[in-house]
Amino acid sequence: MYRTHPSTTQSGEFSVKFLVPLLIFITLATFLGIGLTLNPRDLPSTLIGKPAPEFSLAQLYKPEETISPADLKGQRWLLNVWASWCVGCRVEHPLLNELAEKTTITLLGLNYKDDPKNAIQWLSERGNPYGLIAKDLSGDAGIDWGVYGVPETFVIDEEGNVIYKHTGPISVKALNEEILPLFDKAAQANSVSSNSAGGK
């Protein structure tokens, strides 16, 4: 009597216990799978929701004049950090040209640790989408903005707060789905379609 009873419970427990490693494996695989799809270079910016760091830098085309973020207060604008030595900047440049052509959004360039001669040459070859360009020769402004992977793109609102950051070349998708919706309809005109190269 007692011999049959314990054996049935044992087989019942066994099937449940058998599932435990499988469940642990599924949980682990799910988390690792999610981890694999994340971009480790895409760090959250500490600047989001905070006032844009100030700088007062000489302009690329007019070295005797300076430009600072304070000059742009009262409007929503884009800051694009770029350099002639940066490969990713070549990828996103056609998109910025198209943005400048199709919208009225103010686009400020921050020429990061570049030789002004090379920068001007680079723009004369590829077109200049920037309204104004600040020269950050030392890279100090870059450090204040937390720049670690050029190109980087920021959106600054009317009050002078940073509301968005994109690290790396902007893609058509990021531009249309994340950046342009931050601007009002009047400035957007029509969305950037870009069959002109862009993030390929």
Partner 1 sequence: MNNHFYRVLTSKATRIAMLCLGLVLMASNNMSFAAIEEVRFEEAALEKRYQGLIAELRCLVCQNQNLADSDASLAKDLRKKTEDMLKAGKSDQEILSYMSDRYGEFVLYRPPFSLSNALLWVGPFVLLLLAATALLLNIRKRQRNEVLKSTYAKDESKHIKVRNLLNDAPSLRSEGDEKNSSDKPNKP
Contact positions vs partner 1 (CB under 8 A): 1, 40-41, 43-46, 113, 139, 142-149
Q: Which is nearer to partner 1, 129 or 151 (CB)?
A: 151
Q: Which is nearer to partner 1, 48 or 70 (CB)?
A: 48
Residue with tokens 């998109």: 95
Q: Which is nearer to partner 1, 141 or 155 (CB)?
A: 141
Cβ(49)–Cβ(80) below 8 Å: no
- Please tell me whether residue 190 adopts helix, strand or coil conformation: coil
- Least Å distance between CB 31 and partner 1? 12
- Least Å distance between CB 139 and partner 1? 5
Q: Which is nearer to partner 1, 151 or 198 (CB)?
A: 151
Please enumerate in sequence order all residues whose Cβ is within 8 A of that of 15, keeping only pairs 6 or more positions apart, or say none.
none
Residue with tokens 């099937």: 15
- Least Å distance between CB 172 and partner 1? 26
d(CA 14, CA 22): 13
